[in-house]
Amino acid sequence: MIPTNAKISSIARVSRALALASVLASGAAFTAPAAFAEDTVMVGGAAMYPSKNIIENAVNSKDHTTLVAAVKAAGLVETLSGPGPFTVFAPTNEAFAKLPAGTVETLVMPENKAKLVAILTYHVVPGKLAAKDVIDAIQKGGGTAEVKTVNGAVLKFSLDGKDVIVTDAAGNKAKVTIADVNQSNGVIHVVDTVLLPG
């Protein structure tokens, strides 16, 4: 007698259950499928996880300890841990070191908090801008593109060969050294120069 579809389905379920029981009984270790592995980017010697937010990732980068300290001094940790999304142009410790001696120490003083906030929010653009979005905008703009930051001032983008260059209001140029570091609440692009709103 040929089994009905219902019987075949029932037999298949029992077979799967027996197979699972056999695996469990054998004590076999389960590993997550490759599809569930996170596509991380290494920044400052640490993996940046797309499932973590901007602050959770940034604190692990040894190249961004100055930026993290500045963000804490400015009281922006909660904001940059929020849902966003944000695009952050993240200067490295070396970028901060290019500033005149004593600048960072002066900026993190409580009495200079407003100025520090103005500088840090100049590195943040509302929304999520991938490198491709920036490059597309530059090409559509005939070689340049402008974006308004959270600070309210504008950043200008251009290309130097394959490098994305960010020019601030003071005319300083920063190169994007690591692009598309995805976060749960946006994206980070590492830059080699601190951007100043003028």
User: Which region holds residue 99: left if phi is over 0, alpha if psi is between -120 and 50, else beta?
Assistant: beta
Confidence category of residue 31, pLDDT binned at 50, 70, 90: very low
Closest CA to 76 of 58, 100, 51: 58
The predicted-structure confidence for 97-114, as pLDDT tens digits, reads as follows: 999 999 999 999 999 999
Radius of gyration, alpha carbons of the chain:
24
Q: Indicate the average pLDDT of the chain.
A: 84
| pTM: predicted TM-score of the whole model, two decimal places | 0.79
The predicted-structure confidence for 115-173, as pLDDT tens digits, reads as follows: 999 999 999 999 999 999 999 999 999 999 999 999 999 999 999 999 999 999 999 99
User: Residue 37's pLDDT is what?
Assistant: 59
| Strand bridging mode 163-167 / 173-183 | antiparallel
Q: Which residue has the higher pLDDT, 145 or 2?
A: 145
Give the range among 19-28, 35-44, 106-115, 138-147 with minimum mean pLDDT.
19-28
Confidence category of residue 12, pLDDT binned at 50, 70, 90: very low
The predicted-structure confidence for 45-89, as pLDDT tens digits, reads as follows: 888 989 998 999 999 999 999 999 999 999 999 999 998 899 999
User: What are the distances in angstroms from CA 164 to CA 94, 176, 189?
Assistant: 19, 6, 10
List, in order, residues 6 or more apart from 159 with CB less than 8 Å away: 135, 138, 143, 165
Confidence category of residue 34, pLDDT binned at 50, 70, 90: very low
User: Residue 40's pLDDT is what?
Assistant: 85
User: Residue 42's pLDDT is what?
Assistant: 85
pLDDT at residue 30 tops 80: no
What tokens does 5 get? 């579809």
